[in-house]
Amino acid sequence: MKTIYMDNNATTRVAPEVLETMLPFLTDLYGNPSSAYSFGGRVARNIRESREQASALLGASPEEIIFTSCGSESDNTAIMSALNTGKDKAHIVTTRVEHPAVKVLCNELVKRGCRVTEVPVDRKGELDMDRYKESLTSDTAIVSIMWANNETGVIFPVEEAAQLARSRGILFHTDAVQAVGKIPIDLQQSAIDMLSISGHKLHAPKGIGVLYVRKGTKFSPFLIGGHQERGRRGGTENTASIIGLGKACELAADRMDEENTRVKSLRDRLERELLNRIPHSRVNGGGAPRLPNTTNISFEFVEGEAILLRMDEFGICASSGSACTSGSLQPSHVLRAMGVPFTMAHGSVRLSLSVYNTDEEVDEVIDKLPPIIEKLRAFSPFWKPEGQACASGT
Ligand code: PLP
């Protein structure tokens, strides 16, 4: 059975071009880039090139790029650095819909005496900018707001939020893990001080990330050790993955147009057809600006997990929330923050596409999903056989 992979916000396939670029660094070119001899120096040159490729995708300078192990490490580093360099400031402003890499860290920091304000979102998933402005105070050490939401694809006005933070002298970090490679980013004219990337969301391998730190930003390393990354992140470099990530950034820049035309039109057709064919369904975040590849649809009176299991029988990979939270029976914190009713939040499925998806795959999902929902609804106590909803639960 062929796999139809529509879970690209969870992880992506490594692009063949990326793998090809990496392979020599997993075989013959195994030198340590810090070594004095040219066998190591050769690898150091390739890392420099990768830093240039990553900075080019962001409109940044190579010195502003720190390679990390993942998006979570980048997020943790940014927030901890702001607290460590922010004198006595112990207030963090974030949102109710962040990824656990930020959300769970903030919960932990509350236990250690920090104050955290989570700015709410509205029913469309859009940030409440008035509440955001009110939340900025003289003891705010950092604002950390995601650029695009991993579950709904909703895009936040991070530039406007960053300008406001800067006008108050507050550091601004954005978790751009889902945004990078899908929408254009230019940090040159921006007020964003720090930004996180994860390699495995943009066709590089797992276990590699980037933290962008604007030149002049006070910084305190998270991983203390060697002099690597100019003393900003200790640990011998993950050379092959760094070099793969550079290539992935170059490919992402080349494919940005395709992402926003062909991939977007695949997503739009998929969404339209599913809504047309399946009653009592709706797109979460549909009224807000969104990433071109993501749709999050709720099918009322069915369990998202049950839908995923049936889709899996046809080789279709999707998610019923963040990859990290699936398996939990709690409805997603993102959908709850948006006020999505319980019965709708439980029946949500996220489909996230990439440039590797085809028209035929979209046809297949449009064909398979409606009968799956119909069969599952037949077992629901809230669903009448003739297709009329009789109750909406709690
Ligand atoms: N931030 C967002 C928005 C994500 O979607 C993810 C991964 O799902 C992360 C951070 C964590 O990235 P990583 O898996 O590289 O730690």
Question: Is 276 in the same domain as 303?
Answer: yes
| Residue 356 reports pLDDT greater than 90 | yes
Question: Is 318 in the same domain as 201?
Answer: no
> Domain limits at 238?
16-252
| Residue 322 reports pLDDT greater than 80 | no
Task: Work out the average pLDDT over 150-179.
Answer: 98
CA 3 to chain centre: 23
In-domain check, residue 389:
no
pLDDT category of residue 343 using cuts at 50, 70 and 90: confident
> Total domain count for the chain?
2
Domain-ending residue, one of 217, 233, 252: 252
Active site residue 324: yes
Cα 103 to averaged position of ligand 1 atoms, centre (Å): 12
Question: Is 301 in the same domain as 208?
Answer: no
In-domain check, residue 391:
no
Question: Is 230 in the same domain as 265?
Answer: no
Domain-ending residue, one of 198, 228, 252: 252
Question: Is 37 in the same domain as 132?
Answer: yes
Q: What residue has token string 């080349």? A: 254
The DSSP symbol for 228 reads H
The DSSP symbol for 67 reads E
Domain-ending residue, one of 220, 252, 284: 252
The DSSP symbol for 262 reads I
| Residue-level pLDDT at 391 | 43
Task: Work out the average pLDDT over 242-263.
Answer: 98
Q: What residue has token string 């009968």? A: 371
**For the domain that residue 85 is a member of, what is the CATH number?**
3.40.640.10
Cα 45 to averaged position of ligand 1 atoms, centre (Å): 28
Cα 153 to averaged position of ligand 1 atoms, centre (Å): 13
Q: Which protein residue has the closest C-alpha to ligand 1 atom 10?
A: 71
- 3-state SS class at 89: coil
DSSP state string for 197-246: EEGGGTTS-SS-EEEEE-TT-----SS-SSSHHHHTS-S---HHHHHHHH
Cα 394 to averaged position of ligand 1 atoms, centre (Å): 31
Cα 170 to averaged position of ligand 1 atoms, centre (Å): 24
In-domain check, residue 59:
yes
Question: Is 42 in the same domain as 70?
Answer: yes
In-domain check, residue 314:
yes
Question: Is 65 in the same domain as 37?
Answer: yes
| Mean per-residue pLDDT of the chain | 94
pLDDT category of residue 323 using cuts at 50, 70 and 90: very low
| Residue-level pLDDT at 388 | 53
Question: Is 129 in the same domain as 53?
Answer: yes
| Residue-level pLDDT at 385 | 59
**For the domain that residue 331 is a member of, what is the CATH number?**
3.90.1150.10
pLDDT category of residue 327 using cuts at 50, 70 and 90: low
Of 106, 114, 249, 324, the catalytic one is 324
In-domain check, residue 393:
no
Atom of ligand 1 nearest to the CA of 148: 3
| Residue 366 reports pLDDT greater than 90 | yes
Question: Is 178 in the same domain as 317?
Answer: no
Cα 262 to averaged position of ligand 1 atoms, centre (Å): 25
User: Percent of the chain, pLDDT > 90?
Assistant: 92
Question: What length does the chain have?
Answer: 394
In-domain check, residue 70:
yes
In-domain check, residue 61:
yes
Q: State the first-to-last Cα distance of the chain, in angstroms, to the nearest integer.
A: 39
Question: Is 207 in the same domain as 324?
Answer: no
Atom of ligand 1 nearest to the CA of 323: 8
Question: Is 319 in the same domain as 359?
Answer: yes
In-domain check, residue 387:
no
Question: Which residues have any ligand 1 atom within 6 Å of their CB?
Answer: 70-72, 75, 99, 101, 146, 150, 175, 177-178, 198, 200, 209, 323
| Residue 87 reports pLDDT greater than 70 | yes
Q: Which protein residue has the closest C-alpha to ligand 1 atom 13?
A: 71
Task: Work out the average pLDDT over 146-165.
Answer: 98
Q: Which residues contact 110 (CB under 8 A, 6 or more apart)?
A: 116
Tens digits of residue pLDDT in 228-244: 999 999 999 999 999 99
Top pLDDT among 391 and 281 is at 281
Tokens at residue 134, please?
């009110």
- Indicate the pTM of the whole model: 0.95
* Separation between Cα atoms, residue 344 and residue 312, nearest integer Å: 21
Question: Is 38 in the same domain as 154?
Answer: yes
